[in-house]
Amino acid sequence: SRDFFKPRLEHAATRAFSFVAALLALVILFPLFGLIALAIKLDSRGPVFFLHARVGRRGRPFKLIKFRTMHPPTGTTSEWVRDNHARITRVGAWLRRFRLDELPQFVNALRGDVNLVGPRPHPASNFALFMEHIPHYWIRFAVRPGITGWAQIRYGYANDLAEETEKARYDLYYVKHMSFAFDLRILFDTIKTCFLGRGAAASAPA
């Protein structure tokens, strides 16, 4: 389907909107960043920010920036949310409930790693696995990933390969139907989700 491949002008318009919106958000939210950073430092040992290797548009790797919500690992780690529940800090649980841990990604949006809306960038460590097992997985890299996306507000967290495969359907739906109006709808639903604190149950152990 040609619908999966968008004109350059559409990509440029989406990128411009994301850049301006991210810049305004960082200016407005700067005081909140300071309060969150202080809360993280008082609650647990470790850095304020967490950098995670992700895969962006056309398979380009980059470092995603988030507020740290977990204690540092003491052994082998897993990318699945349910396997890391015991490591979540007290402040981290609150940040995750209202999605405040995602705010530093506005810096990624300024740098061009992500847009405001798009398929969420997956961990680089899962790239080969998903390419091998998820049908048409490569199509999601035709667009820049996003801070939020259709799969995030409609499906939530995935905790195994079968759930990631189902979640990929939502990403491909977004790529095919991508438009400015669709992005605004996703942003509106994301803001509503953040204020209501929905989705916290998804990070609880199965």
Is residue 202 predicted with pLDDT exceeding 80?
A: no
Mean pLDDT of 57-63: 95
C-alpha to C-alpha distance for 186 and 196, rounded to whole angstroms: 15
Give yes or no for residue 183 having a pLDDT over 50.
yes
Smallest Cα–Cα separation from 121: which of 51, 179, 194, 20? 51
- Model pLDDT, residue 201: 41
Question: Is it the case that residue 52 has pLDDT exceeding 90?
Answer: yes
Helix 90-97 / helix 8-43 crossing angle, nearest 10 deg: 150
* Closest to 2 (Cα-Cα) out of 110, 139, 126, 129: 139
pTM score, whole prediction: 0.85
